[in-house]
Amino acid sequence: MTDRTSSAAGLETSRRAPRRMPSNFQRFAFQRARLPHAADFYASEAVRLLGRGGWRDALCPFHKNTKPSLRVFFETGAFRCMVCGAHGGDVLAFYMLRHGVRFIDAAKALGAWEAVR
C-alpha cells in the first residue's frame, strides 16, 4: 500500500507502511567483545608472532616470503604487511582476508555473531 505525497520541491515521494516482522523472526547482532584475543587467534591461524612490545612481526600468509614482513599490533590484532600491503584493523578483518569470506560468515566462524532476544 503506497501513499503518494508531494514535497516542497514539487517532487512526488512514496510512503510505505512499516512492515511487520513474523512472530518467528529472530534478530542477530555482532558482539565485538566475543572476538578472540589477538594472541590466541593468530596462534590458531598458525601465524607465529615474533618480538616483544606492542607491534609483533610474523611471516605474511598472503604471499610467499622468508623474512617477517607482517606487522601485528598485539593489543587489537590490527595488521599490515610491508610487502604486499595486506592490512586490517582486527582479527575479524584478518579472518575475512585470509579465508575470503564475508563479514557475517567471519563473525559466525569466530563466535561473535549471536541471536538477540
What single string gives the DSSP state of each residue in 24-92? T--EEEE-GGGSPPHHHHHHHTT---BSSSSEEEE--TTS--SS--EEEETTT--EEETTT--EESSHH
Could you give the 3-state DSSP secondary structure of residue 22?
A: coil
In this prediction, residue 32 carries a pLDDT of: 87
Residue 25, pLDDT > 70, answer no
Q: Quote the pLDDT of residue 77.
A: 92
pLDDT at 26: 65
Q: Domains of the chain: which residue ranges?
A: 24-116
Domain 24-116's class? alpha beta
pLDDT of residue 113: 86
pTM to 2 decimals? 0.73
> Measuring CA to CA, which residue among 77, 33, 84, 87 is closest to residue 55?
77
Between 49 and 20, the higher pLDDT residue: 49
One-letter identity of residue 50: L
Least confident of 7-11, 27-31, 54-58: 7-11
Residue-level pLDDT at 5: 54
pLDDT digits (tens, 9 = 90+) for 75-97: 999 999 999 999 999 999 999 99
The pLDDT confidence band at residue 115, using thresholds 50, 70 and 90, is: confident
